[in-house]
Structure 1
């Protein structure tokens, strides 16, 4: 089937080629999803899998971690894909068959799984699967929005209590923080609030933006943006950047209750670029009666008064002119070539987790920060204890920046410092320590035998992982690109014995209920909530437990 789809792309071009290859892509994706479902079925059939259902890191976590490592994606992204894969093949086999033919995309499959998640009756689920498979294979292609309406209509037909109703806008309020991936060191915040909270928020950041003195170089919009950071750090005012000794707004240091870790080179903080000397002032032209009557011309030194070469001050105020002469006098090459060295001379930094931070922004972040020096241990001997010292742990976190499991991006500040060769067989030294988030730490420690992961660490911090299927995955320290000096080799590890499967006395944290029980309970609660919301008929509100009459005067109303 798949080979015939690929063969059908021969001698195609234009829109025909786009359509043919789109179907091939969907069919290939269907086989990838089927492979994920197969991995989970195999893991569930393995000996001892039933006992692991109550483990904190259960069979689902182990399979999702393997999928994430294979695709170099985060655990949560892999877990979501596994959820779609298992639900598709266990609950919607006929839709899976349509997907395997390349007739629908993964986005539509995900919509089917999500919108039909509350259908639990086997007969209703089978009928829903049949109706959807028929609609997706015989009707015209559907958009995601059209399919959502179609799925809801079919669900209402086979199981009215399982309809996903659209939430009101108030229930959908949220705050979304998106880190810009363009290397600018910026982030975008989207928020939907109650109107009164939004009014208070606007007044609050405006008041903070006006706590600086008039000599602050930032515009009001820039100060309002910085005021949001002030709120996030718990400060009581905005730090003034006028750099004058008698500034009335800079008498008290702002207080903060939030810690943000930034890794920067000493060069970034110490070797600030010095502004070039101002050019000498030209002799004033002789005064003539005509010149006195003429309009005053711009001083040629006005542009030099604002030092655009200083990266730290270039972040504030009005943007400088893009060109130094009129456009009609520029060649095409000059118009397309940026100013050399603009925001590029200060060595960049990074936030814990790997987000790139330009050097100028790192200098701004260090203005009111506590600076801790990171010391490379070199060939220092191991520390004679299990828990590393703060100095060694800080080095390991700054070297790794994130969890070292393949595909995981958890910041190192939220990770455990793990011994690659377990203590006491492996020493407490940088070459034997790495950062692992709690989930992957438990996975490595307790999932031993054929279903477990094995790791080997090199002197420069490189970790070589061997998956349960024998494939290898290599992860390098997150600091290697921006701070290669942190990846310089440290003392070679010498094991003092053959470690056991895991340290004696440790036990896997256990769940009170299995993942399947949690999912069934969630579905039941959602079905009951939908039944309570959706049974409004002539002033009568029904719940699974009570039934009461509501008069029009006290009938609940929706506030918009």
Structure 2
């Protein structure tokens, strides 16, 4: 029994366990159906704005699909990449796999299964094979909900291989699969970030030798473990140094060289003034503290622990020290840097610059260095709704275009290059800015979406509000032929997609051809420098050793 009024807590309490399970199942179907209706609406928008008949900017760097994705980013508060994925899913359900789309609309298939179907059938280009796949998958996908993602992909590959073998997604060779990734901001809350990748064996050997050498060339008093020194060596290498600075407390240590991590490379860190006064943590490096007392020292250890606990309690009762706030590295997807690590960075030679208060209007187009520093520190990310690209790599855009609008902190904000181009060239997009940094973006449909500077959330004590800028001298009028200044691409989005799919299908076809060997019933080889003949059967059969005695 599925009742649409079930979310009432009092009503839920009166249901049996079986009825609650029915409610869970029913709402799961409703959720899938609702997701499918959202996707269908996106497909209709794409049909109106981005098809060959409607699209007029196919060779713009920010084409019709980018403009639609920008509207979806505002409406759904998602980044541009996810918005493009939603568009791809919508068009596939509408045009490529309509029967699967119908099951999706009915709530029979969850969004996770639909996404896997889309990914594994991406390379199918033959219309007949695609229609056959659509029919078979729509019949069987309902029963695949219990499969793991890996098993589901294997089941999908079986059917793709049956109707279009060259469209099966295959893992590329190791050499083509080389990559190196620095983890996103989701895994660096403790001041560290995951780094992972795959490199060639030759590069790996070079890296291992260099890292091992740098990790060894410190004095014996260095408090860091071998793993910590190897990790620090990576930072020193990328700062342009071939040496690792020793972290001991001996000022006369000959290994205390400048390895560039604090002085030669620029890393912008945003922090409260009080965070700069944080002391270095003596336990920041080294092994984890473990209980190493022997059995004979148990009484002494217990006495020490009791004394320390008492002192800590008394200190807490008599003084209230404010909690140190962490710092932020905006260029690393808003990576968090604990105060102790910030103190270590300062001790290594980092330069401290204070972000000044917002100043008045400037009489030139390009903001001064101080004004740029303030705007990037205030915004932290791109100010377009849904976008989290770091402000450190973004453009500084005049909300009211120069020279009608002045260069002022209340008239300038950070846009990534993509959204800067969309706002500047695409008709229907406009924005407004308030003195406190709030930006209101209006899309071609007339919907308005506002964003506030991220600094207000992370540093609530920082007042970034400025005085209102002088009013524009005159109304801003778009220049004639302005659209001709939009950067263009050599191939349209559709052409790029077709070329990528064609190239991958050709690789799959070549791989399949290389795996099909001509089968010979019997082949004869003559051993070098010998008159003996040896006969072998084709691969997969037991070798025929003839009448030769062991060892053959």
Q: Above 0.5 in TM-score? A: yes
Deviation at 1:231, TM superposition (A): 2.3
Aligned to 1:53: 58
Moved more, 476-485 or 166-175: 166-175
**Structure 1 residue 433 corresponds to structure 2 residue 433:** no
Query: d(CA) in 1 for partners of 2:321 and 2:238?
Result: 26
Q: Is the 8 A contact 1:262 1:349 kept in 2?
A: yes
Asked if the contact 2:244/2:259 (under 8 Å) is kept, the reply is: no
Structure 1 residue 104: deviation in Å?
1.8
| 1:386 aligns to 2:362 (yes or no) | no
- 2:356 & 2:100 partners in 1: Cα distance? 56
Correspondence for 2:268 among 246, 261, 268: 261
Which residue of 354, 363, 373 corresponds with 2:334?
A: 354
**Alignment match of 1:512 (pick from 469, 482, 490):** 490
Distance 1:504 1:474, change over 3 A: same
Q: Say which is worse superposed, 67-76 or 366-375, in terms of deviation.
A: 366-375
Structure 1 residue aligned with 2:295: none
Which of the residues 500, 522, 526 maps onto 2:477? 500
**Displacement of 1:391:** 1.5
Q: CA deviation at 1:181?
A: 4.2
Superposed CA deviations along residues 367-419 of structure 1, whole A, max 9, x for unmatched, are: 335425244344x3311111111121111111111111111111112110000
Q: Kindly indicate whether residue 446 of structure 2 is the aligned counterpart of residue 470 of structure 1.
A: yes
The more displaced of 144-153 and 367-376 is: 367-376
Query: CA–CA distance in 1 between the matches of 2:145 and 2:85?
Result: 28
Q: Distance in 2 between matches of 1:17 and 1:204?
A: 60
Q: Corresponding residue for 1:207?
A: 213
CA distance in 2, matches of 1:31, 1:66: 17
Contact 1:410 1:437 in 2 (8 A): yes
Output one character per residue of 1:20-61: Cα deviation in whole Å (capped at 9) or x when no partner.
3322222222222222222222323699x4321111111111
* Partner residue of 1:250 out of 243, 246, 256: 256
Residue 402 of structure 1 corresponds to: 381
Q: Is the 8 A contact 1:237 1:254 kept in 2?
A: no
CA gap of 1:168–1:46, structure 2 versus 1, over 3 A, is: closer
Whole-Å separation in 1 of the counterparts to 2:24 and 2:462: 47
TM-score with structure 1 length normalisation? 0.79
Q: In 2, Cα distance between the equivalents of 1:96 and 1:230?
A: 52
Deviations 1:61-109 (A, max 9, x none): 1111221222222111221222122222210110011111222222211
Match of 2:68 among 48, 63, 72: 63
How far did 1:7 drift? Answer: 7.2
Q: 1:146 aligns with which of 145, 151, 165?
A: 151
SS at match of 1:431: coil
Q: Are 2:463 and 1:483 aligned?
A: no
CA distance in structure 2 between the aligned counterparts of 1:510 and 1:354, rounded to whole angstroms? 31
Question: Which of the numbers 175, 179, 182 marks the counterpart of 1:174?
Answer: 179
CA distance in 2, matches of 1:423, 1:429: 11
Cα distance in 2 for partners of 1:537, 1:57 equals 42
Alignment-derived partner of residue 393 in structure 2: 414
Say whether the 8 Å CA contact 1:420–1:433 is kept in structure 2.
yes
Look up the match of 1:105. Answer: 110
Note if 1:530 corresponds to 2:508. yes
Pair 1:312 & 2:281 matched? yes
Counterpart of 1:235 (choices 222, 241, 251) is 241
Shift of 1:139: 6.6
| Cα deviations by residue, 1:233-269 (Å, 9 ceiling, x for unpaired) | 2222222222432110124553787532212233333
- Which residue, out of 40, 45, 54, partners 1:39? 45
Query: Aligned with 2:456: secondary structure?
Result: coil
Per-residue deviation, 1:228: 2.0
Secondary structure at the aligned position of 2:65 is classed as helix
Contact 2:6 2:23 (8 Å CA) reproduced: no
CA contact (8 A) 2:49 2:55 kept: no
Find the counterpart in structure 1 of residue 549 from structure 2. none
Is the 2:228–2:285 contact (alpha carbons within 8 Å) kept by the matching residues of 1?
A: yes
Count of paired positions = 493
CA contact (8 A) 1:377 1:392 kept: no
**Per-residue Cα deviation, 1:269-311 (whole angstroms, up to 9, x for no partner):** 3x244xxxxxxxxxxxxxxxxxxxxxxxxxxxxxxxxxxxxx5
Change beyond 3 A, Cα 1:32–1:342:
farther
Distance 2:51 2:213 in 1: 62
**Alignment CA distance shift 1:462-1:325 (3 Å):** farther
Unpaired runs of 5+ in structure 1?
Answer: 274-310, 542-550, 554-560
Distance 2:233 2:473 in 1: 54
1:223 and 1:194 mapped to 2: Cα distance? 23
Q: Distance in 2 between matches of 1:342 and 1:365?
A: 27
What is the RMSD computed on CA atoms of the aligned residues?
3.5
**What is the correspondence of 1:540-555 to structure 2 with a 5 Å cutoff?**
none
Maintained 8 Å contact 2:410/2:467: yes
Report the 3-state secondary structure (helix = DSSP H, G, I; strand = E; otherwise coil) of the residue aligned with 2:488: coil
Q: How far apart are the structure 1 equivalents of 2:446 and 2:458?
A: 32
| Contact 1:61/1:79 (8 A) holds in 2 | yes
Q: Residue by residue, what CA displacement relative to the aligned partner does 1:330-380 show, whole Å, maximum 9, x if unpaired?
A: 9xx99xx9x9799984332101143322211222233335425244344x3
When structure 1 is superposed on structure 2, of 203-212 and 119-128 the one drifting more is: 203-212
User: Does 110-119 or 342-351 show the bigger shift?
Assistant: 342-351
Structure 1 residue 465: Cα displacement: 1.8
Q: Describe the SS at the equivalent of 2:224.
A: coil
- DSSP 3-state at the match of 2:413: strand
Superposed displacement of residue 170, structure 1: 4.8
Q: Determine helix, strand or coil for the equivalent of 1:227.
A: helix
**2:283 counterpart SS class:** helix
The structure-2 alpha-carbon separation of the partners of 1:159 and 1:252, relative to structure 1 and needing over 3 Å to count, comes to closer
Worse overlay, 160-169 or 384-393: 160-169
1:9-20 paired onto structure 2 within 5 Å: 11=15, 13=19, 15-20=21-26
Tell me which residue corresponds to 2:546: none
Task: Could you tell me which runs of 5 or more consecutive residues in structure 2 were left unpaired when the two chains were aligned.
Answer: 293-299, 520-524, 528-552
Write out aligned runs for 1:448-463 (5 A): 448=427, 452-463=428-439
User: What's the CA shift for 1:207?
Assistant: 1.9
Secondary structure of the corresponding residue to residue 249 of structure 1: coil
- Superposition deviation, residue 464 in structure 1: 1.6
Query: Structure 2 length normalisation: TM-score?
Result: 0.80
